Amino acid sequence: MLRRQAVFSLRRCYGTTASLRQAAPSSQASRLDDLRAGILGRTQQPTANTEDADDDVRKFKLPPSSPSFYTARPVFYDQVAQLERAIATANNALRRAQLLPLPAFARASLPPIHPVWQTKEEMTQHFQTKMTLARYRKVTKLLNELNDYHRIANTAGVNDLANKIYSIVSLFESSKKDAFLARGKRKPVVLDVYGRSYTVGKRKTSSARVWMIPVQQQESSSAPLPMTTILVNNIPLNEFFPLPADRERITRPLKVAGILGKYNVFSIVRGGGTTGQSGALAHGIAKGVVAHEPELETLFRRAKLTRRDPRMVERKKTGLAKARKRYTWVKR
């Protein structure tokens, strides 16, 4: 019964609304429509204009900035894709220039390369993602391949391509590349204004600072042959080293080079015993001879005169008399 009354009242209201719409203005008619929608318990149905606006928004929605947008590491994959495209472009350019594929003898004649790439920590900031070992190896593999193309283009004289490749490779090179490549290289000995060389020799725990200066030869033909003066801590050589073996060890570099009597030697030795001091002095003299006579460097290197002897005194062991000497075994 109540339901019939509610339906009857709604019909009366709807009829009244329809009659009022005919007489009311358009603004009042829209208000009556809203009132009717609220009475019926329904929301207003979307109009055609609203649907068109939604279609326009969906139609003009901008696509993602990169194809890797939906991956977890878009910056990393974008950089990898760019490196792969650069490798493909360089490969095609070298093939058009008839520089690829290279025969084995031509590749062996290329100058060696020593790339020093950024560390994993530095590449983490560059790629904006954590560089695991697998990702780091993947990137360095691509960089090594691109660097190999740069070496081929640079050797062949294709400077335009070489410069473009280097502009990409240089972005991933370490800032400490020069210091890393210079590591282990011996600094060249520079002569001063008087023609003196200053070198340092070491052996065991001994060290020797050595100064070498050319002997002033007299122009007179009757002058005696020049002789080498060697002073050790301002003491003549034969007084500081009474053992002939030590003196022979010191003068050996001069005898091998055949310049005995051409240079005077002044040195200061510290630490160790006579064997270590004589070895340190010989090492310093050999380095000084190479500074004055650069053409003897290969000879001295083969004779191992410029090589620092790495042997050191072996330490004493617990339970032994010395480093290797054992106590006499006694049964009782």
Q: How confident is the model at residue 66 (pLDDT cuts 50, 70, 90)?
A: confident
Task: Examine the pLDDT at 217 and tell me if it is beyond 80.
Answer: no
Instruction: Specify the pTM.
Output: 0.55
Beta pairing partners, 214? 263
How confident is the model at residue 212, as a pLDDT? Answer: 96
Q: Which of 65-69, 80-84, 325-329 has the lowest mean pLDDT?
A: 65-69
Q: How confident is the model at residue 40 (pLDDT cuts 50, 70, 90)?
A: very low
How confident is the model at residue 309, as a pLDDT? Answer: 95
The candidate with the shortest Cα–Cα distance to 232, out of 196, 266, 272, is: 266
Hey, CA dihedral for 163, 169, 174, 177, is it positive or negative?
negative
Task: Examine the pLDDT at 132 and tell me if it is beyond 60.
Answer: yes
Residue spans per domain, the chain: 2-59, 74-181, 197-216+225-302
DSSP string for residues in 259-324: -TTTEEEEEEEESS-HHHHHHHHHHHHHHHHHHH-GGGHHHHHHTTSSS-----PPPPPTTSSSSS
Q: What distance in Å separates the CA atoms of residue 129 and residue 139, rounded to the nearest whole number?
A: 13
How confident is the model at residue 58, as a pLDDT? Answer: 61
Q: What share of the chain is helix, strand, coil (3-state, %, to 5)?
A: 50, 10, 40
Give the class (CATH, top level) of 197-216+225-302: alpha beta
Token digits of residue 129: 């993602």
145-170 core/surface letters (b: 16 or more CB in 10 A; e: else): ebbbbbbbbbebebeebbebbbebbe
Task: Examine the pLDDT at 266 and tell me if it is beyond 50.
Answer: yes
The mean pLDDT of 120-145, rounded to a whole number, is: 92
How confident is the model at residue 128, as a pLDDT? Answer: 86
Please, which residues have CB within 8 angstroms of residue 259's CB and are 6 or more apart in sequence?
289, 293
